[in-house]
Amino acid sequence: MMKDIATPSRTREIVEQFDLKAKKSLGQNFMTDVNILHKFVDATGMTAEDGVIEVGPGIGALTEQLAKRAKKVIAYEIDQRLLPVLDETLKQYDNVEIRHEDFLKANLDHVFSEDFQSVEHVYAAGNLPYYVTTPILMRFLEERLPIKTLTVLIQKEVGDRLAAKPSTKAYGSLSIATQYYAETEVISHVPANVFVPKPNVESSIIRFTIRSEKAVQVKNEDAFFKLIRASFAQRRKTLRNNLQSWSGNKEAVAQVFDLSGIDGGRRAESLSIEEFAKLADAWEIARTSSPL
């Protein structure tokens, strides 16, 4: 039986066989620790009756472990050089389909309605490069794609921000944006030395369990997120100062704090998502009485 892809010797064989050089522009680093991938797949919660979408299979290290667990795997790979590699490394798995396509531009309606028709639930997974982490996460979350969990291997610093709680240094608009749609959990940290080539930073496995209902209900979702971004525009400034700089309307901003009962002298990082919802709903009332 062939060795798992995610071992140092097998990865080296594949890299040499196909004369592969990891593309820095695509954030490519190949995993060489099977035990970490087992932990990753366990974290997804999938069973043999489920399907999974993978973003960025690389040379197939994670794809292989997903294929061993799931009924069907559809993986999106943007790098054309890796297509013949994946054909070779995954040839024994007839439940894997590789799509040479940019996931951010892919039409996923057919995938969920037709390609995964025979599966119980759909999950999502990926070893995501830094430069597209946020767009990929937000596509899954904002479009409310019908997945149970989204489990990703990402740069530790970004993972810390995604899972951060109020009143911590890492907490910010990205923390709230993801936690609005999903419960976010750090599964484990991953050292740099289990990748080839070795990256300059550590990584984390993060799991997003999609909420059946959003964390809070707000009158205007678009305004909610705009207000959050404005509140964090300059972290050392108070909420009042940030919102006044953004809106240019002192009277409306004062009304927002009166209506919400939130102290404008606080900083954004001290507010919970529930408090931001109160602030955003007060903002909607202030906007109608004093157009911004």
| Residue 275 domain boundaries | 221-289
- Is 42 assigned a ligand-binding role in the annotation? no
**Are 39 and 183 part of one and the same domain?**
yes
Residue 124, amino acid: A
In a domain, 2, yes or no: no
Give the domain CATH number at 256: 1.10.8.100
CA 222 vs CA 33, 184, 213, 226: distances in Å: 42, 22, 17, 6
**Are 117 and 156 part of one and the same domain?**
yes
In a domain, 3, yes or no: no
- Is 31 assigned a ligand-binding role in the annotation? yes
- Is 46 assigned a ligand-binding role in the annotation? no
SS3 205: strand
Residue-wise pLDDT for 128-165, tens only, equals 988 899 999 999 999 999 999 999 999 999 999 999 99
pLDDT value at residue 289: 75
**Are 184 and 264 part of one and the same domain?**
no
**Are 83 and 53 part of one and the same domain?**
yes
Give the domain CATH number at 68: 3.40.50.150
- Is 95 assigned a ligand-binding role in the annotation? no
pLDDT over threshold 70, residue 26: no
pTM: 0.93
**Are 258 and 277 part of one and the same domain?**
yes
pLDDT over threshold 80, residue 125: yes
Quote the CA–CA distance of 110 and 108 in Å, as a whole number: 6
- Is 56 assigned a ligand-binding role in the annotation? yes
pLDDT value at residue 25: 55
**Are 93 and 194 part of one and the same domain?**
yes
In a domain, 275, yes or no: yes
Q: What is the average per-residue pLDDT within 8-25?
A: 85
pLDDT over threshold 60, residue 246: yes
Q: What is the average per-residue pLDDT within 14-20?
A: 92
**Are 37 and 113 part of one and the same domain?**
yes
Residue-wise pLDDT for 49-59, tens only, equals 999 999 999 99
Domain count, the chain: 2
**Are 66 and 115 part of one and the same domain?**
yes
The DSSP symbol for 224 reads H
**Are 154 and 177 part of one and the same domain?**
yes
In a domain, 122, yes or no: yes
**Are 62 and 196 part of one and the same domain?**
yes
